[in-house]
Structure 1
Amino acid sequence: MAIDPVRLNHAVLFVADLDRAVDFYTEVFGMAVAAREAGAKAAFLRLPRSGNHHDLGLFGVGPGAPPRRRGGIGLYHLAWQVDTIEELAAARDQLVAVGAYIGESSHGATKSVYGVDPDGNEFEIMWMLPRTDWGSWEHEAPVEALDLEAELGRWSGVRTAGALVQDTARREGQA
């Protein structure tokens, strides 16, 4: 019988400098530190709209650890989904502003921008078309140039990430 998970609950990364990595993910992604484990040199972070205990674990291994080798065996990247195409454009701007932007592409049903954290861990920030608009991309995943301006014009205001949990700070800020 196959294992039947609902979703990927969290990812864990080894990082050279725990505080630097925490600063990056809290600044760039707006994550909050849900917990720290001093003995394990670990921090567990939660996305602002997540109902999860933590979405990302970071374990500090120190600067002497071998660097990640691009193209080697192991994790290639994490993909974080945003709710609107406008959020994708804002993510690209934020990545450019902090020097973490490395590219963008269209995969048909998804539109993506890519970045790296201070340890070279690559990540994707992606927006998905409405399911009814996948068409031939149902079974395709091309890698093509992304025309984000055109996508903004076509998909502005369309939400596709489903129900999101709003954190207390955001709700209080809107009150």
Structure 2
Amino acid sequence: MTHPQQAPSGPRSALLPADAEPAGSGTDTRGPRLASVVVFVHDLDDSVDFYRELLRMEVTVRTTSAALLVGRNGFQVYVRTVGPRAAHPVGHVGAQYVIWTADGPEDFQRCERVLKARSDHVYTSHGEGFTVIEGRDPSGLPVLVAYPGPDEVARLEIIARYYA
């Protein structure tokens, strides 16, 4: 794991660039936040069932080739089928992983049970004050759930597994 040279104090400060102005300094440091993720999958029905159970989301729109799942916080997951032979090249340009944050310790344990029951591969790693569990969705894509989230425990390290 790689550690930063100077660890800032407080959970939110670890998420801001070193040259960002502190809150209340007259400069607004807030920016866009992630609202949606698009996941290309092999089988729409299996994947929708998986993500609904794991993420506790509801299907709000569905077609023959796509579905929109929405969580209670408004976050969206678009699930789009691309067929059983479509490849997912790891290591190419673009997002490789999405890490979800469990709602609490009980929710983290529930996510762990879902991943162990529905996933061929489950891996657990521990960071400074947080834990990440990794499983696979029905298309073999990595699905990661962490607890506590970065808003509760600052990430002061980079987990080597995700960049090695």
2:77 to 47, 56, 63: 56
CA–CA separation in structure 2 for the residues paired with 1:102 and 1:28? 14
Shift in Å at residue 116 of structure 1? Answer: 1.1
Shift in Å at residue 23 of structure 1? Answer: 1.9
Whether 1:43 and 2:67 are equivalent positions in the alignment is yes
- Equivalent residue pairs, number: 133
1:77 aligned counterpart, secondary structure? coil
**Map of 2:10 onto structure 1:** none
- Larger helix share, 1 or 2: 1
RMSD: 2.9
Percent of pairs with identical residues? 27
CA–CA separation in structure 2 for the residues paired with 1:18 and 1:131? 32
**Map of 1:156 onto structure 2:** none
CA–CA separation in structure 2 for the residues paired with 1:86 and 1:104? 16
1:27 to 41, 53, 71: 53
2:98 aligned counterpart, secondary structure? strand
1:12–1:79 Cα change, 3 Å? same
1:51–1:93 Cα change, 3 Å? closer
2:135 aligned counterpart, secondary structure? strand
1:11–1:100 Cα change, 3 Å? farther
Whether 1:141 and 2:162 are equivalent positions in the alignment is no
Whether 1:116 and 2:136 are equivalent positions in the alignment is yes
CA–CA separation in structure 2 for the residues paired with 1:77 and 1:116? 11
1:127–1:36 Cα change, 3 Å? same
If the length of structure 1 is used for normalisation, what is the TM-score?
0.63
Higher relative contact order (CA 8 A, sep 6+): 2
